[in-house]
Amino acid sequence: MIGSQRVRFQPVAEGASVTQLELFFDLVLVFAFTMVTDLAAGETSAKNMLRALLVLALMWWLWIAYSWLSNTVRADEGIARLAMFVAMGAGLIAALTIPEAFRDLPGGWFGPLVFAIAYLIVRLVHVGMYLLASSEDSQLRKQVLRWALGSITLGTTLLVIAAMTSGVVQIALWIAAIAGDYLWTLFAGTDWRLNSATHFAERYGLIVIVALGESIVSIGIGVAGLPISWPIAVGSMLGLAISGLLWWAYFDVAALSVEHELVRAEGARQIKIARGSYTFWHFPMIVGIIGLSLGLKKVLYYVGDSSHHTLTDALYGIPLYALYGGVVVYLIALVGFKHYATGTVTVSRVVTVVVLLALVPPACALPALASLALLCVVLIALIAWETVRFAQRRDEIRHATHA
């Protein structure tokens, strides 16, 4: 009955805004981002960076699954509300277990398996809700079944098996699980539903803000317990400025341009933009921001903890690569994000990427605070250039948003 269907689910209307429950759901990912940064900061080795990246990829996949679901049915209505809370609970357990995702800690439950099972629960709740929501939409139902057949098998079974292994085999199984899941999603079809393009774009914009917020949190964590001083104040302001400039690079024009294309597109083309520009290209953006968070955390510790470091100490190795590399990956992702939807390449951002890569060697010899300031100056130059050089086009895009 249609009446009973409406009691259980309420479709998302075109032009709908993100609900409070979706924002509440995203708090789990905020915590997960913090845990991933802590995991990476605990041991700055290449192997541990890979582990942190793999965990982040899984937590991102949990989030994007619900970003699509909550664009089909309202997250705060009927049984969908209960499902969101169940998913939040399992997601929180997974986030809490991130430090044990690869190695079990003494005492308590077996961490790697708890992480895998919590991940599995979140995925099963998602698939179950999609199947219920598509009961009267045969095209969507076929798409969900086709996707779930490979995605759940690859993305969760291999992860459960990986929990029982260690070392290279464990890492290989994680990579296979994530790569298989991502590739299956890419080729499983475009018969999904996007009920509100504006809601979808808003949701992804908010997750970028969430990630940038975590980078600011990392500034505070980096100097937690240390007395305030001018190096801490300067370093904090530089870190905040960098996060703000990355916000500007996304929201000022790029996000609006892609959203316009998403709204105008129809059918399979719209689904491809949603999947390519948002689901896939936003992931390296998040990776870049988490890398920046790690770098900021280390810089603030360097300039604030005078008992272990002096202001002349240079930031080097993985922390410096994370600081500069995080911004580089973010800018590359922004270029790809816009190009996939509009077909245009933002040359100024490509040039900035080249400049930042060229500055990494000299930055290794500079004091940590100077390296941070140099990064900030380059981003200021980029944003200033784009604001002046593309003033007319920028005004047209921003004005069209309200038309």
Q: Tens digits of per-residue pLDDT, 246-275?
A: 999 999 999 999 999 999 999 999 999 999
pLDDT beyond 70 at 4: no
Query: What does pTM read for this prediction?
Result: 0.94
Q: Which amino acid is at 31?
A: F
At residue 3, the pLDDT reads: 44
CA distances from 268 to 261, 275, 330 (A): 13, 10, 27
- Per-residue pLDDT tens digits for 173-204: 999 999 999 999 988 889 999 999 999 999 99
* Cα 88–Cα 91–Cα 95 angle in degrees, nearest 5: 135
pLDDT beyond 80 at 356: yes
- pLDDT grade for 153, boundaries at 50, 70 and 90: confident
At residue 8, the pLDDT reads: 72
pLDDT beyond 60 at 94: yes
Integer Rg of the chain from CA: 22
Q: What is the mean pLDDT of residues 286-310?
A: 88
pLDDT beyond 90 at 403: no
Residues 6+ apart with CB under 8 A from 225: none
Residues 6+ apart with CB under 8 A from 193: 71, 72, 137, 140
User: Which of 92-106, 168-182, 220-234, 377-391 is predicted with the least confidence, judged by mean pLDDT?
Assistant: 220-234
At residue 400, the pLDDT reads: 67
* Residue 360 · residue 320 · CB < 8 Å: yes
Query: Of residues 363 and 218, which shows the higher confidence score?
Result: 363
Work out the mean pLDDT of the chain and round it to a whole number: 92
* Residue 115 · residue 100 · CB < 8 Å: yes
Residues 6+ apart with CB under 8 A from 85: none
CA distances from 295 to 54, 105, 217, 284 (A): 19, 27, 12, 16
- 78-96 helix and 46-72 helix, angle to the nearest 10 degrees: 170
User: What tokens appear for 61 in the block?
Assistant: 């996949």
- pLDDT grade for 2, boundaries at 50, 70 and 90: very low
